Amino acid sequence: MRKKLHIKKGDTVIVNAGESRGQEGKVLEVIVDKQRAIVEGVNMMSKHTKPNAANPQGGIIKKEAPIHISNLNVKDPSTGKATRIGRKLNDNNKLVRYAKKSGEEIK
């Protein structure tokens, strides 16, 4: 069985390592089998494109490249700092993610 990841699509994350360290953004996509995520405005790359129907001009397009999830931390909803994620049962016996720093539930 594959281990569950600590980030999900739609989370606001902070990059804690690499060239984009300190930047934050929203997770657009999670690639589970490669353990990578595409984060809005983080790890930008230049893609050279030929002219086509979608882009008749062609040229260089800035695009987000996937970043490994070990380099990402979820942003704590109460403090705004990077935090680790835990899982616990809430009052309705439903497993929810919570911020380990503040104990606040992550929606």
Domains of the chain: 11-50+59-99 (2.30.30.30)
Q: What is the pTM of this model?
A: 0.83
Query: Quick check: 15 pLDDT over 90?
Result: yes
Token pair recorded at residue 47: 């893609």
Q: What is the mean pLDDT of residues 42-69?
A: 95
pLDDT, one tens digit per residue, over 19-37 is 999 999 999 999 999 999 9
Tell me how far the alpha carbon of residue 34 is from its chain's centroid. 14
Q: What is the mean pLDDT of residues 1-20?
A: 91
* 3-state secondary structure string across the chain: CCCCCCCCCCCEEEECCCCCCCCEEEEEEEECCCCEEEECCCCEEEEEECCCCCCCCCEEEEEECCEEHHHEEEECCCCCCEECEEEEECCCCCEEEEECCCCCECC
Q: Considering the chain, what is the average pLDDT of its residues?
A: 93
